[in-house]
Chain A
Amino acid sequence: METIMNETPAIRTIPHWTVDLAVIVLIMGVGGVCAYPSHGESNFLVPEVLSSNIYSQCIGSVLLGFGLWHIVNSVRSRLWKHGNPIPVTFAFTAMFMLVVYGLAFAYIGFYTSTIAFIFLLAYFLTVPEERSIKGALAFSLGTIVAIALLFQVFKIYIPPAWLF
């Protein structure tokens, strides 16, 4: 992971090919699952020309075919070698926080985890020289009160969990 320091805050980048490869792995992975469906033929009532398995396999084959073509094409045209680096300043950290928030949301408690999530995002989404713990904390507490009131008025439910 490279870091370009000439702007504030620093912009981190990753090579273009890593993102492209991640998408191709996703496409081929889903294609693979469809190409090898996990259940047998099961329609005993009507003989189907286009059965569940064949439909799934057709879609899977298109995805696998595209994935292979894209890899060969990218290597041959040196697209992966010369693609522009992709900026990822905070997104990876945010993705990690999102997954942790999802777990906390389900098991610890919506309000508890939301206070922490909003506080951390509000703090880290501020440019470093303007960051303030007090400001982020006040915003997260104020927001959670507003959300709680909104949920009461609109009867929006929160998942049952260990804490509130």
Chain B
Amino acid sequence: MNEILNAISFSLSPLPLALNLAGTVFGIIFGAIPGLTATLAVILLIPLSYGLDPTMGICMLVGVYIGGVSGGLVSATLLGMPGTPASIVTSLDAFPMAQRGEGGRALGVGITSNLVGCLIGWVFLVSLAPGIARFAVQFGPIENVAVLVFGFTAVISLAGDSLLRGMVMLFLGLAFSTVGLDPINSMPRNTMGLDALANGVDTLPAMIGLFVIAQALSEMDVLAKKYIIPQTTVKNSFMRLSELKESLGNFIRSGLIGTGIGILPGIGGALSGFVCYDQARKASKDPDSFGKGNIQGIVAAETSNNAAVAGALIPFLALGIPGDSVTAALIGGLQIHGLNPGPVLFAKNFDLVCNVFAAFLISSVFMFFFMMLLGTYVFPIILRVQKKYVLPLVVVLSLIGCYNMNFTINAVWVAIVFGIIGYFLNKASFPNVPLVIGIILGAMFERQLRIAMIQTDGSLLPFVTEPISLFFLVLAFLSLSFSLYSMARKRKA
């Protein structure tokens, strides 16, 4: 505890504080612009951190991470264009609120949820990092498959009235993920002989295409409407006490689930939002209002996003295992200083680990005040410009953002092609959320499933005899059954 207090005291001194706050603002800006992600922001600042003291450098990068994930809320709310996988679910309820002129309130709910998610995750990060990381390592391929199946059922449940369409879109995503190199033996597969497909479908550009470009194309169909959202009121952006009380259960549930899923390497933030949103909807007395501007939807999505950030830092710091693409980039940030995350870091550089904990806390609190006192006023004004100005900018920045992910023009084409696909899917009422999740998690699902089948000699029995796996499969079954029951009840009504 003393080490943490010392670290907080150090992090509040002028230079580390300035770097942490600058990193947070930089991250918020990147997260708020569709196409620019927290990963890209961290990668861009890694060279800058090289010239700094390692502790200050990594604290700045942690600020970027938190700012980037939190900033995704802005474009998801005010434009309906989630720039990051973590903010896809947020747009389901925040954008309808913004369309009703309640963008400021939606932002306020999201920002508060971000802070709560960070704080819940922080408690776990500080108190349980080594222990939880050791538990997470017990998750083998069988358990990971069960977790992913549970996540998939949650995503399918969000498909609205047609679970079948949601399932088909998930399978379409899994099909796209089979293009490129086979995840086990690295042989090219389903590339149709095209070199451009040899490395598969880039997941982030595909996501940007489906959510940003497709949404921009859809907006171009309604020229008579000059603005994407109406004039937004920024009054009442702070959550009322009654709303906070009402959301307490949702905060705790989403924070715990977000941290738990964030800990699992590779599964992380993209899935936690869907699972928490699905659980919040099922726990609600008015599930039909989800997707139409229910603040509990925003609470679930944003609390879990930020809790997942802390969750992802747990295996990153304790074991050196990156939980998502940003922590993978953060490893690079440590390595340029000759440091490697893992048990050795805890043993030899515990002060640095404590400084990361302190930077996480300070950055979360600063993010809250910056976004509440400035962001909720500035972003609705900046983003409420006429469509003819905002849409070309969003498209250009999204495409250049895709190019900067791995410096290939292929990524730009992936975004354009998936943008056109997403446009038609929207018009034909096929949900594109399951498609994105299928693309993002497909390769991991295939790899884990095939390794599990090798380990079990093709037997499915261990999936129900292993307790952790059984637990998640039962949850998946209950989740799907509940959705089918709700749908049947709605049809009957």
Contacts and interface: CB of A to CB of B under 8 A. Distances in A.
Nearest to A8: B224
B190 interface: yes
A105 B190 contact: no
Interface in A1-47: 7-9, 19-20, 22-23, 26-27, 30-31, 33-34, 37-39, 42-43, 46
- From A118, A143, A147, name the one whose CB has the most chain B CB atoms within 10 angstroms: A118
B396 A27 contact: no
A2 B446 CA distance: 45
A114 B425 CA distance: 27
A143 B184 CA distance: 46
B423 A91 contact: yes
A78 B391 CA distance: 37
A100 to B, nearest CB: 10
B191 A38 contact: yes
A39 B454 contact: no
A43 B156 CA distance: 32
- Range class of the A interface residue count: 35 or more
B168 interface: yes
A122 B392 contact: yes
Interface in B126-185: 164, 168, 171-172, 174-176, 178-179, 182, 184-185
A16 to B, nearest CB: 8
Interface string A46-73: 1011111001100110110010000000
A121 interface: yes
Contact of A63 (B168, B421, B458): B168
- Range class of the B interface residue count: 35 or more
Contacts of A157: 403-404, 407
Contact of B450 (A42, A48, A94, A121): A48
Contact of B189 (A52, A66, A95, A101): A52
A52 B226 CA distance: 50
A75 B179 CA distance: 32
A125 B178 contact: no
Contacts of B171: 59, 62-63, 66
A133 interface: no
Contacts of B420: 95, 98
- From B44, B182, B412, name the one whose CB has the most chain A CB atoms within 10 angstroms: B182
B389 A122 contact: yes
Interface string A111-122: 000100110011
A106 B217 contact: no
Contact of A89 (B175, B182, B220): B220
B222 interface: yes
A113 to B, nearest CB: 10
B399 A105 contact: yes
A51 B174 CA distance: 15
Interface in B386-409: 387-389, 391-393, 395-397, 399-400, 403-404, 407, 409
Nearest to B218: A91
Contacts of B187: 39, 42, 52
A73 B190 CA distance: 29
Interface in B448-489: 449-450, 453-454, 457-458
A155 B171 CA distance: 38
A164 interface: no
Contacts of B317: none
B217 A127 contact: no
Nearest to B390: A125
Interface of A: 7-9, 19-20, 22-23, 26-27, 30-31, 33-34, 37-39, 42-43, 46, 48-52, 55-56, 59-60, 62-63, 66, 86-91, 94-95, 98-99, 101-102, 105-106, 110, 114, 117-118, 121-122, 125-127, 136, 139-140, 143, 147, 151, 154-159
Interface of B: 44, 164, 168, 171-172, 174-176, 178-179, 182, 184-185, 187-193, 213, 216-218, 220-224, 226, 387-389, 391-393, 395-397, 399-400, 403-404, 407, 409, 412-413, 416, 419-421, 423-425, 427-428, 430, 446, 449-450, 453-454, 457-458
The 8 lowest CB-CB distance pairs between A and B, nearest first, are A49-B458, A125-B388, A121-B392, A50-B453, A90-B220, A118-B392, A23-B428, A42-B187
